[in-house]
Structure 1
Amino acid sequence: MGVQCEIAAKAGMIIQRVVLNSRPGKNGVPVAENFRLEQSTMPDTVQEGQVRVRTLYLSVDPYMRCRMNEDTGSDYLLPWQLSEVADGGGIGVVEESKHNNFAKGDIVTSFNWPWQTVAILDGSLLQKVVPQLVNGRLSYFLGAAGLTGLTALLGIREKGHVTAGANQTMVVSGAAGACGSLAGQIGHLEGCSRVVGIAGTDEKCSILVSEMGFDAAINYKKGNVAQQLRELCPGGVDVYFDNVGGDISDTVISQMNQNSHIILCGQISQYNKDVPYPPPLPPDTEKIQKERNITRERFLVLNYMDKQEATVLQLCQWIQEGKLKVRETVVEGLANIGGKLLQHFLKTSSATIAEAICQFRFLFFIIRLKIMF
């Protein structure tokens, strides 16, 4: 999910920003009032080693639900502070630079981009990107050619144990979401002979098959998921790309083969609950996992940043070749990144930020903020 922002900095550097207004609580459902759009001022002097950037896109992702809590439950995620600007993945254009690696006009990205229209950032936190690698679709650097794509591809390569020609079947839950829609396609590209997705509407299932190349898809809100899995995966499941956890995952694990592998990407069905990560499996499911020697190891893409450059280049190559299909939903305006966007999710599907990617549309959401001349 993301944001394209464009409001020019005027004299005195008056900017707009989104701050955390209140916390939903560990077991609470986020509401629009948890965020606040406000006007603020920013220093107009760029110091040595700094870069002033105008925000083009911001990414809103499931892990951010954890950052709304005072205790994120993770040692690598810092909580957002009340009345302070939120941050996450972002991309923008350099307006002024006093860092040797960047010049005016460069397109740059960071995992720690503040949710504001213009920002002065430490140049060491930024990476320069090449728009041509994604055919000029800059938002892809926050999705298919960014952290989302890295998670899908590295997750499959590091934890999936996919071997070309081994006739493996992969199941992807949250398949119409950011990672899921990419993971299914990458599963085929890496050598799986069959990929089955699980999503929440007939429309999503249809697109997964007709556009994303999945062999089949299951609407978990219709019919018996276990029975459909048996029919669509007659040889059992060898690789499970798990985005959701909960009952869906228990059902998939019950049909996994001996010595198979779970790629533990996310557990979005559990993010509004005060449980450890990864959440423990129910006793019956845990028994199956142990008896069948099914691997289920925590996967954190940040542990593989030494492979980032090569992996991004691979993703970009697949995008350019048309082998990796990308869908985006664009929402305009910084005011929509927090309250209004979240409110829309809640009205649409009783989803939270953590569930929004899978429940609403494909990939991540982009909020575009247009410059007013």
Structure 2
Amino acid sequence: MSQRNLRVVLNSRPGVNGEPIEENFRTEECAYPHEDLLENHVLVKTLCLSVDPALRCRMNPNSGVHYMSSWQVGEMADGLAGVGIVMESCSARFEKGDFVTSTFLWPWMAYFTYPDSKLLTISNALIKSKPSLSLGVLGITGLTAYVGITQKGHVTKGSNQTMVVSAAAGSTGSLAGQIGKLEGCAKVVGICGTNEKCTILTEELGFDAAINYKTDDVSKRLQEVCPTGVDVYFDNVGGDVSNAVIKQMTESSHVILCGQISVYNKDVPYPPPLPQEVETIMKERHITRDRFLVLDYSEKFESALQILGTYLQEGKLKVKETISEGIENTGKAFVSMMKGGNIGKQVVHVADP
């Protein structure tokens, strides 16, 4: 009897300036892949899916970025990453039972066939015991945090630097703050949207202070907790929060421009222009703010993953996840994440090995 298969489809667009809603997605049954595989292809069973804010641009008719195309209405969506297990193989590179992830982009489908050139073998024992780690700390999220800090943050051990992280309880931010401390920052401050998240940052993840941007005066609190100013800013949100942080930054400091989630539902260029007052501060203080795309640093991935794995095994990195059960809840998970409903990495658990 045929195996049941499901996929997630873009049902409608929210509009370039609209907030995504669950009805923008639908889950539908689809054909189970034939096991008569083409040469150099494998049959993959999805275990977990990554859901990321950067996918919001793909809901528009024009994604606005060169490295990802727009999703088409009525067609299957795909995400930045996934992890699965090989069910059948017609490839010399993979055997049945191998854990795999993608080189880039993963279909939002329970079972699919893929050319072996688009897949990577996972040999890490940590990931085999917990596959979702390949989507977070030991995947593109962890790489974004680590490479961003080491390549754009100019963190120097012993220099008493203060680092601020926005969306600090999210997937990348929660790791970035911890990595900043491990790489040498004397103080790390997180900005997030609930008191619960603030508590997690300071009591579980080692942040020195946390600011609730919804209830606190961000500028005033930054002056209180960063009396000597901000030397490194890991920017995940943009907008008013980031303007407040930049105003507190020191001479020759650095903005790691990772994301701008506050404007992902607005039709503005990326990165969005800064207010004239903030732009003037940046120029006068020689603050760097270069767009950062982790895919441009692929030569750093292997060594970065080794370091992240060591930090994790030694208990120096703590991982937070928000897990949604079932591929049919992928759209719901995406909408919740875009509203800040996740703590740590947002993952959709599709199946067990």
Task: Please give the range of the TM-score, normalised by the shorter of the 2 chains.
Answer: over 0.9
Q: 2:25 matched to which residue of 1?
A: 35
Q: Which runs of 5+ in 1 are unaligned?
A: 1-9, 346-352
Corresponding position: 1:19 with 2:9: yes
Letter in 2 for 1:77: M
Q: Distance in 1 between matches of 2:159 and 2:127?
A: 32
Which residue of structure 2 aligns with residue 211 of structure 1? 204
Alpha-carbon separation, structure 2, partners of 1:51 and 1:363 = 31
Task: Determine the C-alpha separation between the residues in 1 that align with 2:110 and 2:268.
Answer: 35
Report the secondary structure of 2:15's partner residue.
coil
Q: Aligned with 1:226: secondary structure?
A: helix
Aligned counterpart, 1:349:
none
Q: 1:67-82 alignment to 2 at 5 Å?
A: 67-82=58-73
- Deviation track 1:286-326 (CA, whole Å, cap 9, x = no partner) reads 00001100000000000011111111111111111110000
Calculate the TM-score normalised by the size of structure 2. 0.96
SS of match in other structure, 2:53 = coil
Question: Which residue of 1 is the match for residue 344 of structure 2?
Answer: 363
- 8 Å Cα contact 2:162/2:231 also seen in 1: yes
- CA distance in 2 between counterparts of 1:106 and 1:134 reads 12
Q: Unaligned regions of 5+ residues in structure 2, if any?
A: none
Q: Counterpart of 1:326?
A: 319
| Cα distance between partner residues in 2 of 1:219 and 1:30 | 24
Aligned 1:330-369 pairs, distance under 5 A: 330-338=323-331, 340-342=332-334, 345=336, 353=337, 355-356=338-339, 359-369=340-350
| Aligned partner of 1:59 among 35, 41, 50 | 50
Which residue does 1:141 correspond to in 2? 134
Letter in 2 for 1:71: N
**Cα pair 2:39 2:90 within 8 Å, conserved:** yes
Is it true that 1:153 corresponds to 2:146 in the alignment? yes
Following the alignment from structure 1 to structure 2, what is the Cα–Cα distance between the partners of residues 213 and 223?
21
The CA distance in 1 between the partners of 2:128 and 2:199, in whole Å, is 27
| 1:164 match: secondary structure | coil
Matched, 1:263 2:256: yes
Indicate the structure whose relative CO is greater, using CA pairs within 8 Å and at least 6 residues apart: 1
- Going from structure 1 to structure 2, the CA distance change for 1:134 and 1:39 (only over 3 Å counts) comes to closer
Identify the residue that residue 99 of structure 2 maps to in structure 1.
107
Could you tell me whether the CA contact under 8 Å between 2:48 and 2:351 is conserved in 1?
A: no
Give the whole-Å Cα distance in 1 for the aligned partners of 2:203 and 2:128. 23
Q: Partners in 2 of 1:212 and 1:304 — Cα distance? A: 27
Letter in 2 for 1:267: Q
Determine what percentage of the aligned residue pairs are the same residue: 56
- Paired with 1:331 and 1:208, the residues of 2 have a C-alpha distance of 22
Could you tell me how far 1:130 is from its partner in structure 2? Answer: 2.1
> Residue type matched to 1:368 in 2?
H
Find the partner of 1:189 among 159, 166, 182: 182
Structure 1 length-normalised TM: 0.91
Q: Aligned to 1:95, which of 87, 98, 110?
A: 87
